[in-house]
Amino acid sequence: MKFRGYQQDLIDKALPLLKKHKFLYFAMEVRTGKTLTSLGVSELLPIKNLLFVTKKKAISSIQDDYDTLDPDYAMTVINYESLHKINPTGWDMIILDEAHCMGAFPKPTRRAKIVRELMSRNSCYVILLSGTPTPESYSQMYHQVFAIPNNPFSEYKNFYKFAKDYVKVIERPFYGGRLIKDYRGGSEEIINMMKPHTLMYTQKEAKFQVKTTETVLEVQMKPLLYELIDKLKKDLVLEGQFDDVLAETPVKLMMKLHQMYSGTVKFESGNSIVLDLSKADFIYDRFNGQQIGIFYKFTEELNALKEVYGDTLCTELDEFNDTDKTIALQIVSGREGISLAKAEALVYYNIDFSATSYWQSRDRMTTKTRLHNDIYWIFSKGGIEKRIYQAVTKKKDYTLKHFQRDVISL
């Protein structure tokens, strides 16, 4: 198989780094081909068994790349949640896709702990892949690499010891008057320490020509929905015949308004309902005749779309690619590792608080040859979504601090 010129250059640069350090971080932006590049350099190493760990929705596309390359080594591709099911030993190469998903701090996630246990049982090459290695803080790097024996921070037994040298820790007021330590102030020196182990590549360097246009469309929701929202903001409770909605803390009020402005709500029992189909109806009417990708936030939003779209909506990539159906994906699980190149436009039913979700999901249609991406945000009139959008487009998560400022004018 013939690689693109820049992919072959990256393979040539990666090989000596892997031979020297046994691990490498490919920080390659979305759609530049980091999967194929990592499989390509693996073919030049003395390996027999490769384990590729990724998100569930990306498994089929990674298997396709492997089949296209047809290397001499055997590959097992598995999602992070299923790692406990495989034989933990016998791997010559482990590739960790979307490695930033292990970057939580100050404590490691269960996912990062399982990967660390896996690494402890294999003396192997390791490649980490991500288009956005530290999307919110340089502090996110520590737990991505702490499982690798010869990582630049291996002298630190845990994040807290690492933070003493690499993080500017501040105390912030929290709900109830408590002070909590904020570890987001990771030093740029973290990235400098990773440079000998990192190869970066951008869409601009790959000469991507795509132009992205974002459009905000506002929807007038039903009067009853606005009445319920006003009552919840005033009383902090909605009492139903069989169940209640409680918003007794600022965090819960923020979450409930986030749901309700898009027409759904989750009760104290855990049950959820659709209150208003206005957004789903608007999307169906506005984009009728187009095959689009829709990102939703809450499960009941998917149910609203299913009620309006019927059997012209799907939730699986293979069905989307093989038919003319529109696809609906949950924004957090669908923001990474998948391609929506077939979509005529991306439409957001709702918006996530995370800046990472914004920047990663909006690139799902991008390809080397695509010239234009049309993205549409569907916001309720007078709702919270536009305030969230203003934060995440500036690469800031929407937080309780933002909400407490904004709720006065909502």
Task: Render 195-241 in DSSP notation, one character per residue.
Answer: GGGEEEE-TTTTT---EEEEEEEEE---HHHHHHHHHHHHHSEEE-S
Instruction: Print pLDDT tens along the chain (410 aa).
Output: 789 999 999 999 999 999 999 999 999 998 899 999 999 999 999 999 999 999 988 898 899 999 999 999 999 999 999 999 999 999 999 999 999 999 999 999 999 999 999 999 999 999 999 999 998 899 999 999 999 999 999 999 999 999 999 999 999 877 667 888 999 999 999 999 999 999 999 998 998 888 899 999 999 999 999 999 999 999 999 998 889 999 999 999 999 999 999 999 999 999 999 999 999 999 999 999 999 999 999 999 999 999 999 999 999 999 999 999 999 999 998 988 788 999 999 999 999 999 989 988 988 998 877 889 999 999 999 999 999 999 999 988 999 889 988 876 67
Span 211-409: which CATH code?
3.40.50.300
Angle at 340 between CA 329 and CA 71, to 5 degrees: 115
Q: What is the pLDDT of residue 408?
A: 66
Contact 356, 132 (CB under 8 A): yes
Q: Which residues contact 109 (CB under 8 A, 6 or more apart)?
A: 102, 143
List Cβ<8 Å contacts ≥24 apart for 178-186. Answer: 181/106, 183/105, 183/106, 183/137, 183/139, 183/159, 184/136, 184/137, 184/139, 185/137, 185/139, 186/134, 186/137, 186/138, 186/139, 186/140, 186/141
175/167 Cα distance (integer angstroms)? 24
Alpha carbon 359 to its chain's center: 9
Q: What is the pLDDT of residue 176?
A: 65
Q: What is the pLDDT of residue 178?
A: 81
The domain segmentation of the chain, as residue ranges, is 5-201, 211-409
Distances from the Cα of 321 to the Cα of 24, 290, 327, angstroms: 33, 14, 9
158/259 Cα distance (integer angstroms)? 37
Residue length of the chain: 410
* Residue labelled with tokens 């959008």: 389
Q: Is 3 exposed, middle or buried (0-12, 13-18, 19+ CB in 10 A)?
A: middle
25/10 Cα distance (integer angstroms)? 12
Dmax (CA) for the chain in angstroms is 68
Contact 110, 80 (CB under 8 A): no
Contact 237, 246 (CB under 8 A): yes
3-state SS assignment for residue 280? helix
Going by the DSSP 8-state scheme, the letter that residue 26 receives in this structure is: E
What are 271's two structure tokens?
Answer: 């049950």
Distances from the Cα of 21 to the Cα of 43, 99, 112, 332, angstroms: 17, 18, 21, 33
Q: What is the pLDDT of residue 26?
A: 98
Q: What is the pLDDT of residue 380?
A: 98
Q: Which of 199, 103, 194, 200 is nearest to 152 (CA)?
A: 194
3-state SS assignment for residue 169? strand
128/25 Cα distance (integer angstroms)? 5
Alpha carbon 369 to its chain's center: 24
133/100 Cα distance (integer angstroms)? 5
Q: What is the value of pTM for the model shown?
A: 0.79
Alpha carbon 329 to its chain's center: 12
132/127 Cα distance (integer angstroms)? 15
What are 15's two structure tokens?
Answer: 């090989």
157/296 Cα distance (integer angstroms)? 39
Contact 134, 183 (CB under 8 A): no
Distances from the Cα of 123 to the Cα of 47, 88, 126, 367, angstroms: 12, 12, 9, 36
Q: Say yes or no: do domains 5-201 and 211-409 share a fold.
A: yes
5-201: CATH superfamily? Tandem AAA-ATPase domain (3.40.50.10810)
The strand order across the sheet containing 74-79 reads 74-79, 49-54, 93-96, 125-130, 23-28, 198-201
What are 3's two structure tokens?
Answer: 């690689």
